[in-house]
Structure 1
Amino acid sequence: DKYGVYFILDEIQTGFGRTGKIFAAEHENIVPDILCVAKSLGGGVMPVGAFVTTAEIWDKAYGGMDKALLHTSTFGGNTLATAAAIAVMNELVEKDLAANAAEQGEYLLGRLQELAEKYDMIKEVRGRGLLIGLEFREPEAGILDKISGGRASKLSKDYLAAMVAGALLNDHGIITAYTLNNPNVIRFEPPLIITREEIDYLIEALEKIFSESPSIFRMTMKSARTIIGNIFRKKD
């Protein structure tokens, strides 16, 4: 209203309980003019995306016959996808999954903070609800870095989070991924129905990984052994 432009908010990744509220905008008491949603809207079983807006904006964009087909999509309005989206929203509200995300997210954040205080390789833990990032510290240049001509530092900067994610998957069956804007950050986005016991299992897995490979060198060697072992198993 102040600047005479529409405020469009992207909640494709943060929407539907992920941050402890139905929408992340609620934390800041923000009401957008247009809200983009997808991903969780399908409950993990159906690809679906949508946008929510006011009646006034909708009428301006699509209100007349000359505008009704202004924006079309081959698979838009798919009945199976919309039915799945309605079921997801009903489940989210009836079981108050956003509240569980807030509660379990606070617990997970606290457990990760404990690891950060124990292991220097962890630079920062941050997040809200069940959208949490674990950032790794870039090690100071040492003898290994000098010997490798700077490759050790580059390896840490570009692949440390990926190596931890690989260890979580290969050794503990936990799926995570590093963020696209920072390869040194692992993103934790567990299901909104996660339990304390499952969070403890994740923490135990991370504890085991960090204690067995407290340095970038050891983690690199362990990852290399895993990769080589997988190659030979495929050949067999």
Structure 2
Amino acid sequence: LKNRDVAAFIIEPIQGEGGVHIPEQGYLRQVRDLCTQYETLLIFDEIQTGFARTGTIFACQRDTVVPDIMCLGKSLGGGVMPISAFTTTEAIWDRAFGGVEKCALHTSTFGGNARACAAGIASIEVMIKEDLAEQTRGKGAYLLQGLRELQEKYPAMIKEVRGRGLLIGVEFNQLSGGFLNKVTGGKFNKIAEEYLAALVAGELMNRYQIITAYTLNNPNVIRFEPPLIVTREQLDTLLHALEDIFKKHTNIWSLILASGKNLIMK
């Protein structure tokens, strides 16, 4: 940034697809200070973290950091309507789009869709009226505690549990293939690293009708992002399902065989 040739610094307050990574306390504040010092715009991607997902309406509020630009989406549509939004300061907006000559600089065929906007307004109203941020803090703490108890019981399976609110990632340990890994020139462990989380997610879906998935850029992490209105009973169902899976399957071969049986039965 010292050369003052960087237009903007873009970051997720909590990494989503990277594997649900939470920055150290104070990191976002230091980023804000550096961007201000070197006149670089700070852009927060809150598409996954925004609208009470992490226990505050926006994840950056926990660090009392205000970006120059914020990108929003996903939860804004209440799970029923695709909608995204861009928000910024008045000064930046006027510089980019102010005046007749700039007003049409960026257009969209579906921009301002009335039905999508109505869904967005309704979602925000429910979020505020039912204090979903407060609910998320309590439910998230409950789920995190349950998952960490599973980690203590099954340390060979679970490497780490991390998250905030109802954005939680479970990273799995790499299950060594021993002799098979030597025979395959290390490919077995590579397969285990890339597919273990997917196999666990498959068991959750096929046997317990619980939909989840691994994070796109870290396939060894399952991400749990239930609806903010999820009940504790439903969270218990998830925890019991995971424990059942870990009890039955102590290695990757067991999970592979279980997945194969499901495919054959279908």
TM range (shorter): over 0.9
The SS at the match of 2:170 is strand
1:108 paired with 2:143, answer yes
Partner of residue 46 from structure 1, selected from 81, 87, 92 = 81
Partner of 2:222: 186
1:155 aligns with 2:191: yes
Residue matched to 2:14: none
Q: Does 1:121 align with 2:169?
A: no
Which residue in the other structure is 2:63 paired with? 28
- Determine which of 256, 259, 266 is the counterpart of 1:220: 256
Query: Partner amino acid for 1:39?
Result: K
1:73 paired with 2:108, answer yes
Question: 2:235 aligned to 199, 224, 228, which one?
Answer: 199
Using structure 1 for the length normalisation, give the TM-score.
Answer: 0.94
1:194 Cα deviation after fit: 1.1
1:211 is aligned to 2:259: no
The amino acid that maps onto 1:55 is E
Paired with 2:247 and 2:183, the residues of 1 have a C-alpha distance of 25
Are the structure 2 counterparts of residues 136 and 210 from structure 1 closer, same or farther at C-alpha, using a change threshold of 3 Å? same
Residue in structure 1 matched with residue 170 of structure 2 by the alignment: 134
DSSP-derived class of the 2:143 partner: helix
Letter paired with 1:190: P
Percentage of pairs with the same residue: 57
Residue type of the partner of 2:214?
Y
Q: Which runs of 4+ in 1 moved over 3 A?
A: 146-151
Aligned position for 1:168: 204
For 1:6, the aligned partner's letter is L
Amino acid in the other structure paired with 2:105? L
TM-superposed deviation, 1:149: 4.9
Structure 2 unpaired stretches of 5+: 1-35
Question: Quick one: which amino acid aligns to residue 97 of structure 1?
Answer: L
Query: Distance between the aligned counterparts of 2:96 and 2:113, measured in 1?
Result: 21
Shift of the 5–147 alpha-carbon distance from structure 1 to 2, 3 Å rule, reads closer
143-152 vs 201-210, which deviates more? 143-152
- Does 1:96 find its partner at 2:131? yes
SS in 1 for 2:115: helix
Structure-2 separation of matches of 1:181 and 1:27: 25
SS in 2 for 1:91: helix
For residue 135 of structure 1, give the secondary structure of its aligned residue in structure 2. strand
Structure 1 residue 168, shift from structure 2 partner: 0.3
Take 2:114 and 2:253, find their aligned partners in 1: how far apart are those partners? Answer: 53
AA in 1 matched with 2:101: D
State the Cα deviation string for residues 80-138 of structure 1 (Å, max 9, x = none): 11111111001000000011111100010000001111111110000000000000001
Which of 52, 59, 68 is equivalent to 1:17?
Answer: 52
Name the amino acid aligned to 2:215.
T
Partner secondary structure for residue 219 of structure 2: coil
Q: How far did 1:148 drift?
A: 5.0
- Between the aligned partners of 2:95 and 2:178, the Cα distance in structure 1 is 62
Q: Distance in 1 between matches of 2:250 and 2:136?
A: 31
Q: CA offsets, 1:21-67, max 9 Å, x none?
A: 00000111110111110111000111111111111111112210000
Amino acid at match of 1:163: L
State the Cα distance separating 1:210 from its structure 2 match. Answer: 0.8
In structure 1, what is the equivalent of residue 95 of structure 2?
60
| Counterpart residue identity of residue 124, structure 1 | E
Q: Deviations over 1:187-221 (max 9, x none)?
A: 00000011111111000000111101111121111
Deviates more, 1:15-24 or 1:78-87: 78-87
Q: Secondary structure at the match of 1:183?
A: strand
Q: Secondary structure at the match of 1:7?
A: strand
Cα distance in 2 for residues equivalent to 1:199 and 1:96:
19
Q: Cα RMSD over matched residues?
A: 1.2
SS of corresponding position for 2:235: helix
